[in-house]
Amino acid sequence: MKSVALFGAGFIGTVHGRNLAADPRVSLSYIYDADASRAASLAAELGAETADSVEQVLGDPAVDAVVIASSTNTHADLLTASARAGKAIFCEKPIDLSLEVAERAVAAVERTDAPVMVDFCRRFDPPYAALRKAVADGEIGEVELMQMSSRGPSLPPISYLEVSGGQMFDQLIHFFDLMCWITGLEPVSVTVTGSALVDPQVAEVGDVDTSVAVLKLGNGAICQIDAQRRIGYGYDERIEVNGSTSMVEAGRQRTGWVNHYEAGSVRTDGMHPGWFERSEHTFKASIGAFIDAIEAGRAPSPNLADGLRAQRIANAATTSLREGRTVAID
């Protein structure tokens, strides 16, 4: 039984807290949130204790692991302090909005033995894992072209966009990670174009809501990712990988598989309403994989290096979007 504490009782902290509380291998010990009432209400729901401070959690030798699900600007400090306290760490993405801060935190963590997993939960979506296996097994030959779509149902509040780091960082970071993970290839350059079509305020806060990123991979293959913040038909995400001999595709997912035959038309079940409904199962699988790893004494994956790589790509993509040029990726 692993004693796990949770930092952050907001939206995703609640998801992780409920998944941890339902895992028979876990005792959810403390919940700490800067907003004490949030921590108290989640702790009451899940039968955990409310902590008064980060120090209380990290100073308790009975705590084996921590889950960092608080606001992005807290991750780097919590990572460093938790690693120094000898805890295993499950950290929400991104490590920080600033690559420099993220790199400093990773360097500090690397001076400890703390095992760290970064929550690129989409890797735990079975269709995406199947794509990766097909590519690794040589089923499609050499990867030549990859196509991904990430299309959200509605524009998040402008106040959220202002602090999100922008569409490349906030929406596409998962797909930059999936691109590398599925193909086993690294990008060498990125070119992005984007527009603010949904609301002029998106441009006023320096962001876009509709974009296409084109990445060149190490073997010369091209990956194209299209992203929209507002589509009229639900949440739409899909990936195809075209190789020298054939193609694999994780198609768009509908909520059901029934065709309704009516006079003059055939209606099928529609898309998930949002990204969370489409991806909810991956959060349980992701945190479950973290518990698997620490129980077995294995290094968890994805790790901090994966987190930094996705951030470097997102940074280069943001520069390309702002400066209207192709940006090389080291």
Ligand X SMILES: NC(=O)c1ccc[n+]([C@@H]2O[C@H](COP(=O)([O-])OP(=O)(O)OC[C@H]3O[C@@H](n4cnc5c(N)ncnc54)[C@H](O)[C@@H]3O)[C@@H](O)[C@H]2O)c1
In the complex, which residues of this chain contact ligand X (CB under 6 A)? 7-13, 32-35, 38, 69-72, 74, 92-93, 119, 121
Distance CA(50)–CA(69), nearest Å, equals 15
Distance CA(116)–CA(71), nearest Å, equals 18
CB of 266 to ligand X, least distance (A): 34
**Residue 7 vs 176, nearer CB to ligand X:** 7
**Residue 35 vs 110, nearer CB to ligand X:** 35
The residue number with the shortest CB distance to ligand X is 10
**Residue 242 vs 282, nearer CB to ligand X:** 282
Token representation of residue 118:
């970064």
CA distances from 75 to 68, 91, 104, 165, 269 (A): 7, 7, 12, 15, 39
CB of 181 to ligand X, least distance (A): 14
CB of 71 to ligand X, least distance (A): 4
**Residue 178 vs 294, nearer CB to ligand X:** 178
Judging by DSSP bridges, how do beta strands 88-91 and 65-68 pair with one another?
A: parallel
**Residue 170 vs 209, nearer CB to ligand X:** 170
**Residue 77 vs 139, nearer CB to ligand X:** 77
CB of 118 to ligand X, least distance (A): 9
CB of 164 to ligand X, least distance (A): 8
CB of 173 to ligand X, least distance (A): 9
**Residue 69 vs 329, nearer CB to ligand X:** 69
CB of 154 to ligand X, least distance (A): 16
